[in-house]
Amino acid sequence: MNIIRFEFRRNLRSFLIWTAAILAFCVWMLSVYESSFSGLGAGINEFVQYFPESMKKAFGIDRLDITTITGYFGMEVHLFIILFGSMYSTLLSSSLLSKEESEKTVEFLLSRPITRTSVVTQKLAVYVIYVTLFSIITWSVSYAAMLRSESSFDRASFWALGGMTYLSILAIASLGFLGSVFVTRHRTAYSAALGLVLGLYALQIVSDISQKASFLRYVTPFKWASAADILPRGGVDPVYAALAAGVILASVAGAYRVYSKKDIAV
């Protein structure tokens, strides 16, 4: 039984809608830079100095120069990609297992000559494929749009940010996948998924604006892929990359373990 093919087709429409909407916004925002921000220089920098210090830290304005294409992308476009990309990916991953129980199709699924391990593996493959496709398409189109700009930018930093964003979104999606094995209603899984994404994003803001809460940077994947950290640095912090990989592996391992012993609601 080819679960991958079935789930890929079933979730294709939502993938296309989410990806098209996010791409349209990214391209539009980059066009806004060319028409409104490029060339303003010192005027914009002087204006943002009046922003509250906490606001500048929360959105990385204190470390990114919004008058450059790189700084503008990091503060405006990248935030949209990682936030809404995480929402889409986690909504998808959290529904793949929970939907079978919620829609009462799990009994039929497990009556086929297929093991629970195979079910988890194929469901896992679906969201990994979609997250990978989403990242490739989104970052390739953004790169092409930035190349059309007359402004130069550091390509290595751009792709480092793209790679770390991919890992961070995959880590959040994997947490959603793990969480889905504990619920039997996909609507509950959706609510938990959105709560997870928004909660982790809130932790990133808190870690940036409060010195006492700086330890939270090791907890939230949004901080691991912070444009305000990666672009000025010119690369990814290996500690954050290791954390992302660890979360992915631990979440997937946990999903296998729990689902293999779970009492399935039929």
- pLDDT tens sequence across 82-125: 999 999 999 999 988 877 666 666 666 666 767 888 888 999 99
**pLDDT for the residue numbered 193:** 92
pLDDT at 110 (0 to 100): 62
Give me the residues of the chain with pLDDT under 70, please.
Answer: 1, 35-62, 100-111, 113, 150-151, 263-266
pLDDT for the residue 203: 94
Long-range contacts of the stretch 199-202 (C-beta < 8 A, 24+) = 200/86, 200/172, 201/83, 201/86
DSSP state string for 169-210: HHHHHHHHHHHHTT-S-HHHHHHHHHHHHHHHHHHHHHHHH-
Structure tokens, 106: 């799990």
> So what's the pLDDT on residue 176?
94
- Name the helix (H) or strand (E) containing 93: helix 78-102
